[in-house]
Structure 1
Amino acid sequence: MPRPDVYISADVETDGPIPGPYSMLSFAMTVVGHYDGRSFERVADRSAVFVRELQPIAEDFEPDALAVNGLDRDYLREHGASPKQAMDEASAWVREQVGSARAVLVAYPVAFDWSFLYWYFQRYAAHGSPFGHSSCLDIRSFFLACAGTVFDEADKSRMPSFLRASTPHTHDALDDAVEQGQLFANIFEWSLSQRRRQRHRSSAAPSWLAERVVPIV
């Protein structure tokens, strides 16, 4: 039997574009919801969260990145968690949250956040990535597929207002993980409602027409 999914929204704040030469300075994860293939159960905002600030691992940094997130590398050298401690604790937290279900990381854009989190998990966590090597979803791509649009039209600013999060994007890791989690859950619930509506139309159609109606799957 396929495992149900547990969706975990994640956000990272860094001092550069790639892990290794640059550092992940903070990250946050929050459980968004559960899906068993039939029904989606949303989890209340901030009811299950994990947040850490980390010591830098490299000397190089981009001032523009620090200007965006407002983090202080000198402060984090003294007060941040070691990467090993932080990633071991994060890995254990994810595994505790999902139990026997599949952990699926969601982010906007997932390519950036995943690149840092996967690299840090694999390098520092004793048990590696709790998301495996590919258990992730990009929120923009998810909306693109559900809406049947193109990438340029799938930006957050172009999404319908009823799908957007109610909280702002502040470049604080927890704030942004919550904001992106809201967006993902809104899109997920909307996509399921669209599917139910399509199935209802198919079942209500005459038999000769129902055979020609292809439901969205």
Structure 2
Amino acid sequence: MSATAEPRRASKPKPKTSVYISVDVEADGPIPGPYSMLSFGAAVAGRQDGDGFTPVADPARDTFYRELRPIADAYVPEARAVSGLDRARLGREGAEPGVAMGEFTAWVRGVARAHGAQPVMCGYPAAYDWMFLYWYLIRFTGDSPFGHSGCLDMKTLYATKAGVPLRSVSKRSMPAALLPGRRHTHHALDDAVEQAELFANLMRWGAVESG
């Protein structure tokens, strides 16, 4: 190379594409194992590549829902009451967790193939739902289609974009334009679809605001 020649610059690696899947869990206690996940729903929210985020046309179109047989006798009445699900009925009619989690894994991987992307679970807030979902996946299938960290929290996303403390975030604190038009019913599939809409609104919200 001559003294005047410019060194060749390494090209930046192309960003990996993500497909975001909104998940909502209804459980009968604070942690998995001693308590049970009673139902969960999932809805595809959108796809993000190096050019930006593209929401799906209708988050209710590509979804997954299962009600599960409880895995433990213990439950917290107040937690079970949120969903209104009948534990006795689920004991008779609920899906076996291993079967349901296997079907969910196949569905997630099908979504990922269809979008040519790596799947990411998103939730509002994600910590509780991810804890149950990941524990059930590992306990009953030995694997997770999201890996061990493919999770995005919508409350953190809003706090970062708005420049506000995380503990101050609630849906009531968000601008009305960000809120989904669907009701929050505490039915896992309804709420997964509602939160997919919220996630798409947050991802497309470009301005950093402070209230």
Name the TM tier (shorter chain): 0.7 to 0.9
1:86, distance to aligned residue in structure 2 (A): 0.1
1:137-188 CA-partner distances (Å, limit 9, x unpaired):
0000000111111123321110000001111111100111111111111010
Q: Distance in 2 between matches of 1:185 and 1:2?
A: 20
1:103 equivalent to 2:119? Answer yes
Match of 2:42?
A: 29
Deviating beyond 6 angstroms after TM superposition, the runs of 4 or more aligned structure 1 residues are: none
Q: Secondary structure at 1:169's aligned position in 2? A: coil
1:120 equivalent to 2:136? Answer yes
Q: Distance in 1 between matches of 2:151 and 2:169?
A: 18
Match of 1:144?
A: 159
Match of 2:62 among 48, 66, 79: 48
User: Where in structure 2 are the equivalents of 1:1-217 lying within 5 Å?
Assistant: 1-43=14-56, 44-99=58-113, 100-125=116-141, 128-191=143-206, 194=207
Superposed CA RMSD in Å reads: 1.2
Q: TM-score, normalised by structure 2?
A: 0.88
Q: Distance in 1 between matches of 2:151 and 2:111?
A: 16
1:93, distance to aligned residue in structure 2 (A): 0.3
Q: Distance in 1 between matches of 2:100 and 2:81?
A: 24
Q: TM-score, normalised by structure 1?
A: 0.86
Q: Secondary structure at 1:134's aligned position in 2? A: coil
Equivalent residue letter for 1:125: T
Equivalent residue letter for 1:23: S
Structure 1: state its 5+ residue gaps.
196-217
Q: Distance in 2 between matches of 1:152 and 1:89?
A: 36
| Equivalent pairs, count | 192
Higher helix share: 1
1:17-49 CA-partner distances (Å, limit 9, x unpaired):
100000000000100000102122111121100
Q: Distance in 2 between matches of 1:91 and 1:42?
A: 22
- Which structure is higher in RCO with an 8 Å CA cutoff and minimum separation 6? 2
1:53-110 CA-partner distances (Å, limit 9, x unpaired):
0000001011111211100011011111000000000001000001241111000111
Identical amino acids, percent of aligned pairs: 51
Structure 2: state its 5+ residue gaps.
1-13
Please say which of residues 99-108 and 9-18 is displaced more in the overlay. Answer: 99-108
Q: Secondary structure at 1:162's aligned position in 2? A: helix
Equivalent residue letter for 2:167: D
